[in-house]
């Protein structure tokens, strides 16, 4: 970033959180500057020959925020909202997330400013392969390992793996995670993030004395994270009263039938128009913007960043917010909610299940040995639970929010690694 650039969007929040952690830890100015800056950034243009013969050109990015604790790790996002600062913020949060759950990784993120729904599968394959070939010099199983995020999936990872492998002349399963099982993907990876979100939500409910049986929840986003989180919460007895996605929002007093809702989304592409049915009865269409202010026990934002803002924070009624998405709460909203009883479980803890099982997948690729699903689930829970206790204890010991505690713990670990390695030359 040039000194004249003014950060915007989620990068402002990421910088504010870092500044707070630096002050709390008493770290020096140079360390602050080092951690506020990405280690390596790449902007590429991604030309696409469309199916109709015309050419489109999209902006693509890969940002590697930090390598102090190991190779960089982070998702790849396909969305028209992608820009450099969003990717920078997401990469920085990946560094903290990996450190918080004690993975031997730094943080990275990638993005292409494209709407995947407007493209055929063949076009998405060409975009993915072209983007991969552009960023090829800076990725690799020991350099930077992409994974799915908004708008990308296991098929995207298979294309990246194939493009990378073709260029180096042999199959390299460890270059991506979130691959299909038949290509070396890990059992349990597809549901790891949402399983982790639900696991942490149940811990937060226990802490607040809320019995999941009959408790209520609202979930924003019904993709890889939101859909699974809704299902796991419903399985635990929680009434998931409201779910939204980019097309609309639905609500049912007795809780939505998540299986039926999933079938509806598979058929129509959105939760919009879901009429409910089954043992829990009918569903109503509601204003998607209202989902974050519904009167529920648990709110799970699992879509995009900056949805809980200074404009709606005062109207949040949930007792607990479990951040399935990255960066759903702005720093301004955080300050408002700090004066309330709302318990916010920050993204770098709540949604870390995905990167934990990505790490297991990478370890399995390196070992060329597949673990059982039971092993994956048990080790996931073990790591998440350890991080949960670290954060709760640190927050209590220092009278700070869970986000401040999680960020401080993570930043401290990154600084420690940086200091042990020293500065080269």
CA atoms within a 13 Å half-sphere pointing along the CA-CB vector of 171: 7
* Contact status, residue 154 vs residue 69, Cβ threshold 8 Å: no
| Closest CB 56 distance from ligand NAD, rounded Å | 21
- Please give the C-alpha separations between residue 71 and each of 96, 100, 166, in angstroms, as whole numbers: 14, 16, 22
Q: How far is the CB of 49 from ligand NAD (least distance, A)?
A: 25
- Give the C-alpha separation, 341 to 319, whole Å: 7
Q: How far is the CB of 132 from ligand NAD (least distance, A)?
A: 19
Residue 177 has what DSSP assignment?
S
Contact 71, 142 (CB under 8 A): yes
C-alpha dist (Å) from residue 114 to 57, 123, 124, 224, 407: 9, 11, 10, 19, 31
Torsion of CA 193, 198, 203, 204, to 10 degrees: 100
Nearer to ligand NAD, 304 or 392 (CB): 304
**Least Å distance between CB 65 and ligand NAD?**
15
Question: How far is 281 from 286, CA to CA, in rounded Å?
Answer: 16
Question: Could you write out the DSSP letters of every residue in 58-95?
Answer: EEEEEEEEE-TTSSEEEEEEE-TT--HHHHHHHHHHHH
User: Residue 31 or residue 309: which is nearer to ligand NAD going by CB?
Assistant: 309
The count of other CB atoms within 10 Å of the CB of residue 198 is: 29
* Local structure of 345: helix, strand or coil: strand
In the complex with ligand NAD, which residue's Cβ is closer, 100 or 210?
A: 100
Q: In sequence order, which residues have a C-beta less than 8 Å from that of residue 165 and are 6 or more positions away?
A: 171, 172, 175
Look up residue 362 and give its DSSP letter: H
Smallest gap, in angstroms, from Cβ of residue 87 to ligand NAD? 11
Question: Sign (positive/negative) of CA torsion 137, 142, 148, 149?
Answer: negative
- The residue (of 27 and 232) whose beta carbon lies closer to ligand NAD is 232
Task: Report the residue number, 225 or 365, with the smaller CB distance to ligand NAD.
Answer: 225
33-60 in b/e form (b: 16+ CB < 10 A) is: ebbbebbbbbebebebeeeeeeeeebeb
Residue closest to ligand NAD when measured from CB atoms? 223
For residue 243, give every residue at least 6 positions away whose Cβ sits within 8 Å of its Cβ, in sequence order, or none.
218, 219, 220, 222, 226, 230, 249, 250, 256, 258, 261, 271, 291
109 is catalytic: yes
What distance in Å separates the CA atoms of residue 128 and residue 296, rounded to the nearest whole number? 40
CB of 365 to ligand NAD, least distance (A): 17
Catalytic residue among 73, 97, 109, 224: 109
Shortest CB 64 distance to ligand NAD, Å: 17
What does 197-219 look like in DSSP terms, one character per residue? HHHHHHHHHHHTT--STT-EEEE
Q: Which is nearer to ligand NAD, 410 or 415 (CB)?
A: 410
25 vs 183, beta carbon nearer ligand NAD:
183
Comparison of 163 and 193: residue with beta carbon closer to ligand NAD: 193
Distance in Å, CB of 178 to ligand NAD, minimum: 7
What is the binding site for ligand NAD (CB under 6 A)?
A: 148-151, 193, 220-226, 244-246, 288, 302-304, 324-326, 351, 354
Active-site residue numbers? 109
């Amino acid at each position: 970033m040039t000194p004249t650039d003014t950060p915007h969007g989620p990068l402002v929040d990421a910088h504010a959180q870092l500044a707070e952690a630096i002050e709390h830890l008493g770290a020096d100015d140079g360390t602050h500057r080092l951690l506020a800056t990405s280690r390596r950034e790449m902007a590429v243009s991604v030309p696409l020959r469309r199916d109709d013969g015309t050419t489109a050109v999209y902006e693509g990015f890969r940002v590697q925020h930090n390598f102090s604790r190991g190779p960089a790790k982070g998702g790849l996002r396909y969305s028209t909202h992608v820009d450099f600062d969003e990717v920078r913020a997401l990469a920085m949060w990946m560094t903290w997330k990996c450190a918080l759950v004690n993975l031997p990784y730094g943080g990275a993120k990638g993005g292409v400013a494209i709407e995947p729904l407007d493209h055929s599968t063949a076009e998405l394959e060409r975009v993915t392969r072209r983007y991969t070939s552009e960023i090829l010099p800076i990725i690799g199983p020991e350099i930077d390992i992409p994974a799915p995020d908004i708008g990308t999936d296991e098929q995207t990872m298979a294309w990246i793996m194939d493009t990378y492998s073709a260029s180096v002349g042999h199959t390299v399963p460890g270059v991506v995670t979130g691959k299909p099982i038949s290509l070396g993907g890990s059992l349990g990876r597809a549901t790891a993030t949402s399983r982790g979100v639900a696991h942490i939500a149940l811990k937060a409910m226990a802490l607040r004395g809320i019995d999941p049986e009959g408790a209520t929840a609202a979930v924003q986003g019904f993709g890889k994270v939101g859909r699974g989180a809704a299902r796991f919460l419903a399985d635990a007895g929680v009434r998931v009263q409201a779910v939204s996605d980019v097309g609309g929002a639905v609500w049912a007093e007795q809780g939505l039938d998540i299986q039926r809702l999933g079938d509806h989304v598979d058929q129509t592409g959105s939760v919009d128009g879901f009429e409910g049915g089954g043992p829990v009865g009918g569903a109503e269409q509601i204003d998607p913007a209202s989902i974050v202010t519904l009167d529920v026990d648990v709110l799970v934002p699992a879509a995009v960043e900056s949805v809980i803002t200074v404009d709606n924070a005062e109207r949040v009624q949930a007792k607990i917010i479990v951040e399935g998405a990255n960066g759903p709460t702005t720093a301004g909203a955080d300050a408002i909610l700090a004066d309330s009883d709302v318990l916010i479980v920050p993204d770098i803890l709540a949604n870390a299940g995905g990167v934990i099982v990505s790490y297991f997948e990478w370890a399995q690729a390196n070992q060329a040995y597949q673990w059982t699903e039971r092993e994956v689930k048990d080790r996931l829970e073990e790591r998440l639970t350890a991080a949960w206790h670290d954060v709760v204890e640190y927050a209590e010991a220092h009278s700070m929010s869970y986000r401040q505690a999680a960020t401080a713990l993570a930043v401290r670990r990154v600084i420690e690694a940086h200091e042990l390695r020293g500065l080269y030359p």
